[in-house]
């Protein structure tokens, strides 16, 4: 084990002294996670600017037994992107590797370095008259490498899939410093194991993603949205079925919002107005987009909603009459996450179940939480269209209620996760595992699955230097 000064000198020699940060005032933003729940220590924050520099840094760390925490935009909600308090790891942040390398409009692909932010990637695609469809609330900060490492989801998965569905190739530096590359932009390639899949969702434990080839989609020319008061979560699922049957692939997003979630946004967001009268218990934000005519899309939305009303699924609806209405609707939805942070944090359960079980899950989990913590606010929202809801009980509004929910933290998390598991669901639909959910895997993954995960980890990273302590629970 080298002393830290030697590590700093060696890594500074590779990336340059200004790209090897050691002063606490410089490193603090990298060692603390987005939710300020995890604060760690790092020998240094290393900011390489090329794949070759990443490879040299990793090779040196491998030879000298130094741990590495790969980091993108540091927007992880699971504590996955910051080191622990031991102070024996470096953070390898990719933010200086932020170049779009190529856009091929015939192949409909974009090749970019891993440090490009999601919003820059979307803008570059837009400038080439294409769509890169991944859409998540943190897009201004999160990076493509982080999106791949977490297999990010978001609000357009219903139509376009998760990050995994959007990646055609990856370049990654392996834990020993070798460079793996599949940056060919092929949609068909059956020449053995699809190795890039190993890195997607691996949360920085198997390699450092340095570049990727992503799929581009036709850019929609028309968009419309509606906020709809539904009778119940079960009615929302029926409405989604109607929408898919009548409007086919134009159905792009279908987001559930509970009244407590909407109230919270209206409380914290200046100028926010609730989209529907009387604050209904359950709403959905439905979005249709297409490359066809705006008029056709809008009349398709009206037809779906009319049938929803006729079938007794819908109590009320507000349809966007302009693009700025669509944006205003989305703003209400996107602000839920930050409103919770401002309200003092919630118990975050990012869960998914088969769509056929989601209404049952919400009903049962709602009742169970209200029995355990009757005064909690039920901030339930998210990507219902793909079976994923953020089920986030929040402390009551009173000033003195800060500790109220924390007293129930374990019992609520365990109950919600147990219910999800019994319905064949996942205890982490899109945010990953990090440290926050690591030990829960012992309960919800089989010994065969956990054993295989460790075998893969040991094959690639036998010294356990890449993001140690994240994702993989210790096995007895």
Ligand X SMILES: Cc1cc2nc3c(=O)[nH]c(=O)nc-3n(C[C@H](O)[C@H](O)[C@H](O)COP(=O)(O)OP(=O)(O)OC[C@H]3O[C@@H](n4cnc5c(N)ncnc54)[C@H](O)[C@@H]3O)c2cc1C
Interacting residues toward ligand X by CB under 6 A: 34, 69-77, 80-81, 94, 114, 136-138, 142-143, 145-147, 149-150, 152-154, 203-204, 208-209, 337-338, 430-431, 467, 470
Cβ-based nearer residue to ligand X, 136 or 380: 136
Q: Token digits for 111?
A: 């090749």
DSSP secondary structure string for all residues of 177-234 = S-EEE-TT--S---SS--THHHHTT-TTSS-EEEEEEEE-EEPPSEEEEEEEEESSHH
Q: How far is the CB of 123 from ligand X (least distance, A)?
A: 16
Chain residue whose CB lies nearest ligand X: 146
Q: How far is the CB of 164 from ligand X (least distance, A)?
A: 11
Cβ-based nearer residue to ligand X, 47 or 209: 209
Cβ-based nearer residue to ligand X, 140 or 312: 140
Cβ-based nearer residue to ligand X, 81 or 392: 81
C-alpha pair distances (Å), 5 with each of 1, 11, 22, 101, 396: 12, 10, 10, 35, 49
What sign does the dihedral 174-177-183-189 (CA atoms) show? negative
Q: How far is the CB of 153 from ligand X (least distance, A)?
A: 4
Q: How far is the CB of 277 from ligand X (least distance, A)?
A: 28
Q: What's the CA gap between 240 and 253, in Å, rounded?
A: 10
Q: How far is the CB of 334 from ligand X (least distance, A)?
A: 8
Cβ-based nearer residue to ligand X, 139 or 417: 139
Q: How many Cβ atoms sit within 10 Å of the Cβ of residue 417?
A: 21
Cβ-based nearer residue to ligand X, 203 or 417: 203
Q: How many Cβ atoms sit within 10 Å of the Cβ of residue 281?
A: 15
Q: How far is the CB of 117 from ligand X (least distance, A)?
A: 8
Q: Is 332 helix (H, G, I), strand (E, B) or coil?
A: helix
What is the radius of gyration, based on Cα positions, of the chain? Answer: 23
Within 114-165, strands assigned E span 130-131
Q: Is 154 helix (H, G, I), strand (E, B) or coil?
A: strand
Q: How far is the CB of 203 from ligand X (least distance, A)?
A: 4
Cβ-based nearer residue to ligand X, 113 or 289: 113
């Amino acid at each position: 084990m080298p002393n830290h000064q030697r590590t700093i000198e060696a890594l500074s020699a590779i990336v340059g002294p200004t790209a090897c940060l050691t002063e606490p005032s410089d490193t603090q933003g990298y060692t603390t996670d987005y939710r300020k729940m995890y604060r760690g220590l790092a020998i240094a924050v290393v900011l390489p600017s090329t794949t070759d520099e990443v490879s040299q840094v990793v090779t040196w760390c491998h030879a000298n037994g130094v741990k590495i925490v790969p980091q993108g935009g540091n927007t992880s909600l699971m504590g996955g992107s910051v080191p622990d308090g031991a102070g024996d790891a470096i953070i390898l942040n990719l933010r200086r590797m932020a170049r779009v390398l190529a856009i091929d409009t015939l192949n409909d692909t974009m090749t970019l370095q891993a440090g490009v932010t999601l919003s820059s990637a979307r803008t570059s695609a837009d400038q080439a008259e294409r769509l890169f469809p991944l859409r998540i609330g943190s897009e201004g900060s999160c990076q493509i490498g982080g999106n791949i490492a977490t297999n990010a989801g978001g609000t357009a998965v219903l139509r376009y899939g998760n990050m995994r569905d959007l990646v055609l190739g990856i370049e990654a530096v392996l834990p020993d410093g070798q460079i793996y590359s599949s940056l060919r932009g092929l949609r068909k390639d059956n020449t053995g194991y699809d190795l890039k899949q190993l890195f997607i969702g691996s949360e920085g434990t198997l390699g450092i993603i340095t570049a990727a080839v992503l799929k581009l989609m036709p850019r929609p020319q028309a968009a419309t949205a509606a906020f709809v008061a539904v009778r119940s979560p079960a009615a929302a699922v029926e409405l989604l079925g109607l929408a898919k049957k009548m409007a086919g692939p134009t159905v792009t997003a279908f987001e559930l919002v509970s009244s407590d979630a909407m109230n919270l946004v209206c409380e914290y967001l200046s100028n926010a107005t609730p989209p529907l009268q009387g604050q209904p218990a359950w709403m959905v934000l439905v979005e249709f987009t297409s490359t066809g005519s705006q008029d056709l899309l809008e009349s398709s939305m009206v037809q779906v909603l009319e049938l929803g009303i006729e079938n007794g699924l819908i109590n009320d609806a507000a349809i966007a009459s302009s693009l700025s209405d669509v944006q205003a609707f989305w703003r209400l939805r996107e602000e839920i996450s930050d409103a919770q942070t401002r309200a003092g944090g919630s118990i975050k359960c990012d869960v998914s179940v088969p769509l056929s079980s989601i209404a049952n899950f919400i009903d049962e989990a709602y009742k169970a939480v209200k029995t355990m913590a009757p005064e909690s606010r039920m901030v339930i929202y998210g990507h219902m269209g793909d079976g994923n809801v953020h089920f986030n009980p929040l402390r009551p509004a009173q000033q003195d209620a800060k500790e109220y929910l924390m007293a129930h933290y374990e019992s609520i998390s365990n109950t919600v996760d147990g219910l999800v598991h019994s319905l064949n669901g996942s205890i982490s639909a899109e945010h990953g595992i990090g440290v926050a959910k690591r030990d829960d895997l012992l309960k919800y993954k089989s010994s065969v699955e956990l054993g295989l995960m460790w075998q893969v980890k040991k094959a690639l990273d036998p010294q356990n230097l890449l993001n140690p302590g994240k994702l993989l629970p210790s096995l007895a």
